[in-house]
Amino acid sequence: MGRVQPRRRGRIPLLHGHRVAGAVVCVVVAMIAAVAVPAETENEPILFPVRLSHPFPDHQETFREVVDLILKHYYTGDLDEKALYWAAIEGMLRHISPPENPKLCRIWSRQEYEQIRQNLQGEQISIGIKSRFNPQEGSLTVTDVMPESPAEDILRPMDRILRIDGLSLKGMSLSKINALLSGEEGKVIALTVNRDIKVFEVSLQCQRFEQEDLIVTPLDRKVALVEIRQFTSGMAADLKKQLAPMADNGFRNLIIDLRNTPGGVLLEALRIAELFLPKDRILLRTYQRDARVRNYVSANAHPLSFDIALLVNEKTASSAEVLSAALQDNQAALVVGTRTYGKGIFEKTFPLKNGMQVKFITGAMVSPKGNSWYGRGIRPDFLVQQEEKSLAALKKLPPEERFTRDVSIITAYKLLRRLAR
């Protein structure tokens, strides 16, 4: 169960677009760079300190000196200069990452980055689980099992993985664990799993499978539930293709579920916002080094006409927050749930000459009205609190059953019906 509390009184207006039968909607995000006003007067978001706070004379020579001393005097000979340079890169990236997410800025090998690329394309070669690592216990806790994946019907959320291919996970790096859990199609991975008081062995084969990241389900004759698990390439076009005929057939209300949505392709989140916002409405503002402010603006002359409720929680992050902020600031949706994660920054990935990829922060994001959500999250219009375990159990149910048991969906449905009166 959950607890519902309104954040503000009175009717909250929604922006209604104009539906044109048979119209072809051009979903293109226009980007305008505005540099006339100094950033300081535009409430430039302050992130976290990265500047060195103490003197560091002869920094280049000192770095080389420390490397030489370690190579000469470190107690084991199982260390070379290559390992130190790798550690130095990881240390730099950790220093410029947010304090609450020290591994946000990353360097990847070709293989690791290929897995990420496939994931953002909506496909994977893996056993199909999401997990949370506890380095103290040396265990992985399964948080989600992908539909149609090798792990479906074999592993469950809250299962604890103790060993992979017979190897203890204690003291192992997360990158090493990720490498063990993935590989080429056909690779067999042996797991030692703890479920309640039972420990058992299972072997799963890596397979290529498509992720079901977008699910649209009619809840009644006028309301549809849109579930977005992560934003992947082509999602906006797919969503438009499904929603346009529904609008023509009398559907007027959407409940868009972004709970536990970690983000994904930023441009797809903007394109989805653009589906519902008319031409010249600002979708997002960003700050980068080469320009004071950039505005991402809708180019949609014929937006879809729906009353919308967005479901969010503390795990709604990144691109999901972009969609939430765009619709909330433009009064195109009610936001229901708890404060979101608060990742008001974005990164860019750069290819390196050796084939690796490096990712680090290149900008900050603010809402169309200029509000930063970094570190504080997006505030919902209506507060609905749910326990993580309860939500995980509800997510396993078919949408039709959740419709009568999920307090967030029930609240959103009641709010949309009230607006329709």
pLDDT higher than threshold 50 for residue 284? yes
Identify the CATH number of the domain in which residue 15 sits.
Answer: 3.90.226.10
- Are residues 197 and 218 both part of a single domain? no
How far from 34 is each of 19, 184, 277, 283, 287, CA to CA, in Å?
A: 31, 46, 21, 14, 10
What pLDDT does 46 receive? 62
Tell me if 290 is assigned to some domain. yes
Q: What percent of the chain is modeled with pLDDT above 70?
A: 87
Tell me if 44 is assigned to some domain. no
Q: Which amino acid is at 137?
A: E
Strand pairing category for 334-337 and 307-312: parallel
What pLDDT does 421 receive? 65
What pLDDT does 147 receive? 76
- Are residues 244 and 335 both part of a single domain? yes
Q: 73-82, 122-131, 164-173, 303-312: which range is least confident on average?
A: 122-131
Which of 190, 210, 230 lies at the terminal end of a domain, its last residue?
210
**CB of 84 closer than 8 Å to CB of 71:** yes
Strand pairing category for 198-205 and 188-195: antiparallel
Q: Kindly indicate the confidence band of residue 392, based on its pLDDT and cuts at 50, 70 and 90.
A: confident
Rounded to whole angstroms, the Cα distance separating 101 from 308 reads 32
Q: 172-176, 320-324, 327-331, 362-366: which range is least confident on average?
A: 172-176
What pLDDT does 133 receive? 86
Average pLDDT of the chain to the nearest whole number: 86
Structural domain of 290: 2-37+212-420
Rounded to whole angstroms, the Cα distance separating 259 from 316 reads 5
Tell me if 280 is assigned to some domain. yes
What does DSSP assign to residue 407? Answer: H
What pLDDT does 146 receive? 79
- Are residues 147 and 220 both part of a single domain? no
Sign of CA dihedral 185, 190, 194, 198: positive
What pLDDT does 315 receive? 94
**Alpha helices, DSSP H, located in 74-218:** 81-95, 110-120, 174-180
- Are residues 230 and 274 both part of a single domain? yes
What SS3 class is residue 405?
helix
Q: Which amino acid is at 209?
A: F
* Count of structural domains, the chain: 2
